[in-house]
Amino acid sequence: MHAVGPKSVDIDADVDADGDEAREYVENVRLLSEGSVRRSFDPYTDIDWDNPEFAVEANEEGWILPAASDVMARHPWYQGLPTEKKIAIGKYRTANMCKVALQNECVLISGMAVFNFGLPVGSPEFEYCTHEMIEEHNHNLMFAELIKRIGPAEPGPMWLRRGRTAGALAAALAPNLFFMIVQVVEDVPDCMQKMILRAGDQVHPLLRNVISIHVAEESRHISFTREFLKKNVPPKNPLSKFVLSMAFPLIIRMSSRVLLLPSMRFYRKFDVPKDVQRQMYGTPEAAQYLSEFFTDSRTLAHEIGLMNPVAKALWKMLRIDGGRSRFRSEPLRRAR
């Protein structure tokens, strides 16, 4: 009997109670663990940091932000800047995106450690989450190496620094809520990073290498979170379900600014005009573009029964409503 975590993570009991569905869930989680054992990356041996082609100064234009992947890079203000300034902004923004990613990984790892604390030894979730934490630690070493080369990076968003214990707290008290946060902070950067990869040779080879490794491992992480939420969002507890249906769009709205938009410090540092700042997120077109990043989350909300009429209205009010995807990562194609 475990003290922390949802009742439904008692795998043996679940298999007895839910039959085929629970068995399929256990099998899928074990397959993800096997994937981690078979293929995982090392930040020092899988990236040739000393390769002259990976030097930051080699192919400097590779640091210019690809228009498809970044809310600022697609703005005519950025596109009209001199090449050196575009490179400087590209390096600064990339370093800061890595810093936010690193801090998000810390929140995720702390929550998973708490979640794992009470799980029975041998539980597929314990094993998978342990693999995932190891991979996230390696991602952080990789992000840190990249920041050391292209930085400096800002200290990170204020609310993220103040809320750094939120992951552990949510994992202890409400694991479904915790994995909902995980879903958002993994899915949105994943979508963005895939867009960067699609820019191909235009992107600096060092960044391409780092992102390729990250995207490959995040795919497993996102699969696990989706499996977990599909299984554990309670189908028979209307109050809990309603609370989660309200929490989901709120988490997305709160995270979207730090995940997708430059910071106020950035705007000041590079003298970004006020009207350009507003156009990046304050116009209906900008809202429409940003909402594309949440298509997979909206689809998941429908799939796990969290899109009731009140939730729908909230998604709309927060300007993150829109269509659903037919399969994961489809928004990538539309935004492109």
Site of interaction with Fe ion (CB under 5 A): 136, 139, 186, 218, 221
Backbone angles phi, psi at 193, to 5 degrees: -70, -35
Tell me the closest approach of the beta carbon of residue 107 to Fe ion, in angstroms: 11
Q: How far apart are CA 94 and CA 159, in angstroms?
A: 20
Nearer to Fe ion, 125 or 186 (CB): 186
Alpha-carbon torsion (190, 192, 194, 200), positive or negative = negative
C-beta of residue 296 within 8 angstroms of C-beta of residue 329: yes
Render 314-325 in DSSP notation, one character per residue.
Answer: HHHHTT------
Nearer to Fe ion, 86 or 221 (CB): 221
Q: How many CB atoms lie within 10 A of CB 306?
A: 22
Give the CA dihedral 205, 206, 208, 209, nearest 10 degrees.
Answer: 110
Tell me the closest approach of the beta carbon of residue 143 to Fe ion, in angstroms: 9
Tell me the closest approach of the beta carbon of residue 142 to Fe ion, in angstroms: 9
Tell me the closest approach of the beta carbon of residue 42 to Fe ion, in angstroms: 14
Q: How far apart are CA 141 and CA 139, in angstroms?
A: 5
Nearer to Fe ion, 64 or 109 (CB): 109
Q: How far apart are CA 188 and CA 177, in angstroms?
A: 17
* Single-letter amino acid code for the residue at 288: Q
Nearer to Fe ion, 188 or 260 (CB): 188
Tell me the closest approach of the beta carbon of residue 323 to Fe ion, in angstroms: 25
Nearer to Fe ion, 14 or 186 (CB): 186
Q: Hunting for tokens 């008692």 — which residue is that?
A: 10
Residue nearest to Fe ion (CB): 221
Task: Identify which of 165, 131, 151, 100 has the alpha carbon closest to the alpha carbon of residue 34.
Answer: 131
Tell me the closest approach of the beta carbon of residue 305 to Fe ion, in angstroms: 25
CA distances (Å), 131 to each of 77, 170, 230, in order? 43, 20, 21
Tell me the closest approach of the beta carbon of residue 294 to Fe ion, in angstroms: 18
Nearer to Fe ion, 14 or 127 (CB): 127
Nearer to Fe ion, 138 or 256 (CB): 138
